[in-house]
Amino acid sequence: MKKFISLAAAMLLATGAFAQQSLFGGAQLVSPEVNPDNTVTFRFQAPKAVKVEVTGDFLPTVPFEVPNFGTFDMPGKAELKEGANGVWEYTTPEPVASEMYNYNFIVDGLAVKDPSNAYVQRDIANLMNYFIVPGERTENYVVKDVPHGTVSRVWYHSDVLGKDRRCAVYTPAGYETSGKRYPVLYLLHGMGGDEEAWLCTGRAAQILDNLIAAGKAKPMIVVMTNGNTLHKAAPGESEEGNFKPYNCGSFDTSFEAHFKDVISFVDTRYRTIKAASGRAIAGLSMGGLHSFTTSLNYPKTFDYVGLFSAAVGVESQNTEGQIAPEFYQNFDAKIDRLFKNNPKLYYIAIGKTDFLYKSNAELRAKLDQKGYKYTYLETEGGHIWRNWRIYLEDFAQKIFK
Amino acid sequence: MKKFISLAAAMLLATGAFAQQSLFGGAQLVSPEVNPDNTVTFRFQAPKAVKVEVTGDFLPTVPFEVPNFGTFDMPGKAELKEGANGVWEYTTPEPVASEMYNYNFIVDGLAVKDPSNAYVQRDIANLMNYFIVPGERTENYVVKDVPHGTVSRVWYHSDVLGKDRRCAVYTPAGYETSGKRYPVLYLLHGMGGDEEAWLCTGRAAQILDNLIAAGKAKPMIVVMTNGNTLHKAAPGESEEGNFKPYNCGSFDTSFEAHFKDVISFVDTRYRTIKAASGRAIAGLSMGGLHSFTTSLNYPKTFDYVGLFSAAVGVESQNTEGQIAPEFYQNFDAKIDRLFKNNPKLYYIAIGKTDFLYKSNAELRAKLDQKGYKYTYLETEGGHIWRNWRIYLEDFAQKIFK
């Protein structure tokens, strides 16, 4: 067996694992470590550093004022203390609530990923380490020993945009063998995201796996499109944006205009329920606007609509250069038309300190005034993924029932 | 339009992009930049740093001696120079050959990812930035405007191991609509990898997309299993290994023993050609051993076998505790049996300085002595991904024809 182990060591050497440790002086630290009392310890080896800090959304936030928009919650910082062998350490003074968190180290002013933690999330072009504190809140975010759906990256053609585009598709466990037809949730990301966002930071596959296994959500297909129509795909996944900073944003109604191509593709490729009763559309922030406008402009298409911190309130913003400007016009009449069809669920969720709180309150007032029923969830905090995971978990349990 | 742009800015703020720049002082640097003459410039902002280096496999290697195994090529280092605004810069003195490269910065001894580059590869638990220098070598590594296959993460059950396991599956463009049956390449990773390795560092989807689009490879399904049978899935993708260091290695023949479950699953789930003529198995390093042993122990199953820097030469290493010890026994008789079936391609590829060169030469000598035909490719360099991408590109063009 000895020669075996040596062979193994040599292969590890050769693949660079040893090389990195040897070159970079990294030891096998555990960081972050969630302790039995749910305090969290961060460790970082930096013998020459003068100051090592950790910043992340597990720490109390620091308010950041932006004129005309209000106050944003920025992640706070905490200082690590140097111990033996140049290993710096910080343990939270209090237990950390069950949640999924992002963090980075700051070493003498320099943002540094945690070399002991291979788990990173990408938001636009920024990478952040993440960790999960187990507990009630994250029960559906962690991978459990339940039947897992299939997650695919799939290309479809859009005649409206004149190009192929990439989306992510979740098919529930059993889809391939059941022969049944399934309902479809179209799940849209926000301005900084792409077709990977809900899978990565949103934990959509884990949430759906766990809810479906527990019988809390109906087995469903989830289609995650790319909301930035300037692009075909997430950075690096198409010939356009290889290794370049990502160009964000899509408020020109081209996303809504091309959505008929998405539905047509999904209804052809997958065994779907091809009716409003088998379709939900939901999204966060810009994706909330897209869900709002898409559901208004494709009447009788979706029986379930979810607005998560939605960027509503853009009706008056139409200008030149739009592929289909009518998509952002006559919202009042379109709302009447939508509710004439008695949608089974119209769902609005937002955080108390979200900068979009006011525009969502205006939308609610309008619905109230017209006597249209909707489900409303208000949570703590602002315009953050923490809330969007909560909204997905909640919304997924309310649709297709 | 102004309010629109402000709304966009606010959403970016809220999603943290601005927060990070504000907190960490990062400017919008371009790094790495491949210049028109194919020199490459690296930039890093660190006003307080004393020394900034870059290390990566684009630099001349440094030999690293390991007793009994030989010399390994470790990535070299180069120093950046500080310019205005604390921006450090290094440009390679010579054009860099077309290739896909890894790198990291070292700031005062500390390994730091490039904040200007969101592209990282994971190898075991290490993250490395990467970049591609365009040219002939990387023609098939970059994403092109060609029809793209579907890449899925799929769970299958193994009766032999008594658990569900995760694999990655590439189905070629047109698979879903053609109604045709396709051949299957089983593509196995090395010791440090998992079912993500060939997709991430190996560029398998890009290589197959491009070769198939150019008519150089037959449309095929590619199944990428996880070779570490201790695990169900890559780190974080199952309930076992969440956010923990990854336990490597699988030389106990349990991978080979469970492979019949893989084939059975794939032939049931996908429209495959269920015959040896429609099956290839290939792998790198440990996956090369797995390809060697699996093809020997499942006679008449694979007409195409690819050994990429294969860890052959383990016959005498059997010890207790193996699920199916016979899988690593009687290789000579099994080789005779395999070649009696006239495999259409037996392919051996290795780098001139690979530490496994000698054991592969011994295998070739044995085949030569017995008069068994095989295809042999010898490349520069050692036990590195650069070679494995070349071997896949070559092998994929030689199978199913």
Instruction: Convert the pLDDT of each residue in A86-95 to its tens digit.
Output: 999 999 999 9
Chain B, nearest residue to A19 by Cα: B74
CA atoms lying within 13 Å on the CB side of residue B39: 9
- A-B CB pairs within 8 A amount to 277
Chain B, nearest residue to A309 by Cα: B11
Look up tokens 């962690």; give the residue.
A142
> Nearest C-alpha of chain B: how many angstroms from A342?
31
* CA pair distance A161, A140, nearest whole angstrom: 36
pLDDT band of residue B315 (cuts 50, 70, 90) is low
The lowest-confidence range among A16-25, A144-153, A252-261, A313-322 is A16-25
Q: Nearest by CB to B237, which of A112, A124, A143?
A: A143
| Inter-chain touch A317–B3, beta carbons under 8 Å | yes
User: Among positive and negative, which fits the CA dihedral A346, A352, A356, A359?
Assistant: positive
User: Taking the CB of residue A128, how many other CB atoms lie within 10 A of it?
Assistant: 23
> Nearest C-alpha of chain A: how many angstroms from B341?
31
A226 touches chain B (CB under 8 A): no
ipTM (interface pTM): 0.91
A47 touches chain B (CB under 8 A): yes
DSSP string, A11-49: HHHHTTHHHHHHHHT------SEE-TTS-EEEEEE-TT-
Which residues 299-318 of chain B have a CB within 8 Å of chain A? 311, 314, 316-317
| Inter-chain touch B248–A12, beta carbons under 8 Å | yes
Residue type, B98: S
| Burial state string for B314-323 with b = 16 or more CB within 10 A and e = fewer than 16 | beeebeeeee
Q: Is the pLDDT of residue B172 over 80?
A: yes
Contacting residues of B for A238, CB less than 8 Å apart: 143, 145
| Inter-chain touch B13–A192, beta carbons under 8 Å | no
Q: What pLDDT is recorded for position B318? A: 47
Chain B, nearest residue to A246 by Cα: B118
Q: Is the pLDDT of residue A16 over 60?
A: no
| Inter-chain touch A239–B143, beta carbons under 8 Å | yes
Q: Enumerate the β-bridge partners of residue A114.
A: none
Q: Is the pLDDT of residue B61 over 90?
A: no
Radius of gyration of chain A (CA): 23
Could you tell me the CA-to-CA distances from A223 to A149, A172, A258, A280, B199 in Å, in that order? 13, 12, 15, 10, 22
Q: Nearest by CB to B127, which of A113, A128, A239?
A: A113
Q: Nearest by CB to A74, which of B19, B164, B243?
A: B19
Contacting residues of B for A75, CB less than 8 Å apart: 16, 19, 23
The lowest-confidence range among B1-5, B28-32, B214-218, B358-362 is B1-5
Contacting residues of A for B26, CB less than 8 Å apart: 111
Q: Which of B208, B192, B204 is nearest to B147 (CA)?
A: B208
Contacting residues of B for A243, CB less than 8 Å apart: 117, 119, 131-132
Q: What pLDDT is recorded for position A4? A: 47
Backbone angles phi, psi at A335, to 5 degrees: -65, -45
> Nearest C-alpha of chain B: how many angstroms from A144?
5
B19 touches chain A (CB under 8 A): yes
| Inter-chain touch A19–B74, beta carbons under 8 Å | yes
| Inter-chain touch B12–A248, beta carbons under 8 Å | yes
Contacting residues of A for B148, CB less than 8 Å apart: 155, 164, 166
Which residues 175-214 of chain B have a CB within 8 Å of chain A? 176, 190-193
Question: Chain A interface, mutation test: which of B88, B100, B126, most A Cβ atoms within 10 Å?
Answer: B126
pLDDT band of residue A120 (cuts 50, 70, 90) is confident
Q: What pLDDT is recorded for position A13? A: 52
Q: What pLDDT is recorded for position A3? A: 47
Contacting residues of A for B31, CB less than 8 Å apart: none
Looking at chain B, the whole-number percentage of residues with pLDDT higher than 90 is 68
Q: Is the pLDDT of residue B293 over 60?
A: yes
Residue type, A175: Y
Q: Taking residues B253-280, report their average pLDDT.
A: 97
Q: Taking residues B376-401, report their average pLDDT.
A: 96
pLDDT band of residue B236 (cuts 50, 70, 90) is confident
Mean pLDDT (chain B, rounded):
88
Q: Does residue A280 come out as left (phi exceeding 0), alpha (psi in the -120 to 50 range) or beta? A: beta
Q: What pLDDT is recorded for position B338? A: 97
Chain B, nearest residue to A55 by Cα: B23
* CA pair distance A10, A15, nearest whole angstrom: 9
Which residues 360-389 of chain B have a CB within 8 Å of chain A? 382-384
Which residues 246-265 of chain A have a CB within 8 Å of chain B? 248-249, 251
| Inter-chain touch A28–B164, beta carbons under 8 Å | no
Contacting residues of B for A113, CB less than 8 Å apart: 112-113, 127
Q: Is the pLDDT of residue B113 over 50?
A: yes
What are the percentages of helix, strand and coil residues in chain B, rounded to 5?
30, 25, 45
Q: Enumerate the β-bridge partners of residue B76.
A: B56
A166 touches chain B (CB under 8 A): yes
Q: Is the pLDDT of residue A124 over 70?
A: no
Residue type, A137: R
pTM of the model: 0.92
Tell me which of B321 and B92 has the higher pLDDT: B92
